[in-house]
Amino acid sequence: MRFDRLRVDQSVEDSLSGVASSSRPFDIVLGPPECGSSFWQCVFLLCPLQRNAELVRLHDAVRRCLVADPKVEVSLANKTYMPHLSLLYSDLVGGERESARGEAEELLRGQAGGDARCGSFQVGEFELYETPMGGTNTTKAWRRVRGYPLRGQGAQV
Amino acid sequence: MKWKKSVRIRRELWGAPGWVNKHNRTWAYSSTTVSLSSSVSVSSRVRMMMGKQKHRRQYSLWIRPQEKSEVGENLLGMINILATRHNTEAFDPHVTLLSVFEIEDDDLEVSDTMSEGTRFSQDEVSPRTPPFPLPFLPSLAHN
C-alpha cells in the first residue's frame, strides 16, 4: 500500500513559510560536550542561550504560530527551550555517560586542534521532519518533509 | 454461525481471527477465510468499514549544518564514531528548533487517501501491520 503524500496541512505550511520569510540567516554557536539524563540527551553540544539569541527568537516564532493553529498540538517536554546538538542517543547510565562525553571531547579536540568546542555554523533554513516516536527509541522512521529557507532582510522580527 | 454475507480477509491483515456480521458493520475474518483477491479493491470495503478517521502525525523542526561544510562533516563523523562505539543509531547532526508536535492529518482520512487507483493486493498487505486502526477491532477478538 502506498500513501503518496509527504505534505502537511496547508495552514501549517503557510505559517512556517511566513516565519521563514521574515527571519534572516544567522549563526548557531556550539558549546563543549555535555551529558544529560535521558536517552535523547545522552551526549550533546549545548548552544548557550546568551550567544544564540537569534535561534531562541526563531524558536519562539515557530512555536507561537504552531500553538495558534488548531490542527497542531504542541506539547513540549521542556517548557524552557534548551537548544543543543546531540552527538549520541543512548541509554547509558551514570559514569558511562560521563565517559561518552569525554570521548566526544577527545574527538572534538582532535578535529579542532586542541579546542573542545565545535565553533559555529550558519543557518540558512529550518526543516520539517516527520519524527514518529511511538514510544520507541529509534530514529529509523524519521524523514525529511521539506525545508523553509530564511529569506528575511534587515532586523529580525 | 450464520453469516450470510461474510467477507473473507486474510488473517494477517488485522492481526487476529474472528467472524463478524457484516450488516452490523463488523466483519468476518479468520485464518481460513478469504481473502481479497489481488484484483479486488479494498478501498471501497475499507471505506464501508471505517468511514473517515482522523490521524495525527508527529513532526519536529530541525536546523542542520550544511552537509558539505567542515563543521557538518566533523559533527557527522563524531556522531558516527560514537554510535558505533556504543552500538546505537547514528543520525544527521541537527539542532532541534521545536521538538515533537502533532499535526492533524486530513490526508490520511481513508476515503481521501486511497484514490480509486490505489489498491491493496495480497502481496501489498503487510503481514504484521494493520494499515490503520480499526475502531471496532476489540469486538472482533472473540471467536
B104 Cβ neighbours under 8 A, 6+ residues apart: A9, A71, A72, B54, B55, B56
Cβ A128 vs Cβ B61: under 8 Å = yes
Q: Is the pLDDT of residue B6 over 50?
A: no
Decide if A42 is inside a domain. no
**What are the Cα distances from residue A107, in Å, to A95, A134, B65?**
18, 32, 18
Decide if A74 is inside a domain. yes
Boundaries of every domain in chain B:
11-53+110-140, 57-101
pLDDT-derived band at A11, boundaries 50, 70, 90: confident
Q: Is the pLDDT of residue A18 over 90?
A: yes
Which of B84, B85, B65 is CA-nearest to residue B75?
A: B65
Q: What distance separates the 2 farthest-apart alpha carbons in chain B?
A: 71
**pLDDT score recorded for residue B115:** 36
Question: Which of A85, A101, A138 is best to mutate for the B interface (most B CBs within 10 A)?
Answer: A85
Q: Is the pLDDT of residue B23 over 80?
A: no
pLDDT-derived band at A33, boundaries 50, 70, 90: very high
Summarize the confidence of residues A30-59 as an average pLDDT: 95
A47 touches chain B (CB under 8 A): yes
Instruction: List, as one string, the DSSP characters of A3-19.
Output: -------HHHHHHHHHH
A100 or B116: which leads in pLDDT: A100
A100 or B2: which leads in pLDDT: A100
**pLDDT score recorded for residue A17:** 96
Average pLDDT of chain B to the nearest whole number: 59
Decide if A75 is inside a domain. yes
Task: Write out the three cell numbers for A93.
Answer: 547510565
**pLDDT score recorded for residue A154:** 64
Decide if A72 is inside a domain. yes
Decide if A128 is inside a domain. yes
Model pLDDT for residues B75-88, shown as the tens digit of each residue? 999 999 999 999 99
**pLDDT score recorded for residue A7:** 67
For residue A86, the chain B residues in CB contact (below 8 A) are: 79, 91, 93-94
Nearest to B62 among A89, A120, A127 (CB): A127
Would the CB atoms of B82 and A87 count as touching at under 8 Å? yes
Least trusted range by pLDDT, from A57-66, A118-127, B6-15, B115-124 = B115-124
**pLDDT score recorded for residue A44:** 96
CA distance B135 to chain A (A): 19
Decide if A70 is inside a domain. yes
Nearest to B103 among A3, A8, A76 (CB): A8
Nearest to A9 among B81, B99, B106 (CB): B106
Decide if A31 is inside a domain. no
Cβ B54 vs Cβ B104: under 8 Å = yes
Buried b (16+ CB within 10 A) or exposed e, B113-138: bbeeeebbeeeebeeeeebeebeeee
Nearest to A119 among B61, B71, B120 (CB): B71
pLDDT-derived band at A137, boundaries 50, 70, 90: confident
In angstroms, how far is CA A134 from the centroid of its own chain? Answer: 19
ipTM for this prediction: 0.90
Summarize the confidence of residues B25-40 as an average pLDDT: 37
For residue A75, the chain B residues in CB contact (below 8 A) are: 101-102
Would the CB atoms of A87 and B79 count as touching at under 8 Å? yes
pLDDT-derived band at A78, boundaries 50, 70, 90: confident
pTM of the predicted model, to two decimals?
Answer: 0.67
For residue B38, the chain A residues in CB contact (below 8 A) are: none
Cβ B1 vs Cβ B19: under 8 Å = yes
Decide if A32 is inside a domain. no
**pLDDT score recorded for residue B26:** 38
Residue of chain A nearest B55, judged by CA positions: A71
Summarize the confidence of residues A54-66 as an average pLDDT: 95
The count of structural domains within chain A is 1
Summarize the confidence of residues B6-21 as an average pLDDT: 41
B38 or A137: which leads in pLDDT: A137
Would the CB atoms of B131 and A1 count as touching at under 8 Å? yes
Summarize the confidence of residues A32-58 as an average pLDDT: 95
A154 or B127: which leads in pLDDT: A154
Nearest to A139 among B81, B89, B95 (CB): B89
A54: left (phi over 0), alpha (psi -120 to 50) or beta: alpha
Question: Which of A14, A81, A126 is best to mutate for the B interface (most B CBs within 10 A)?
Answer: A126
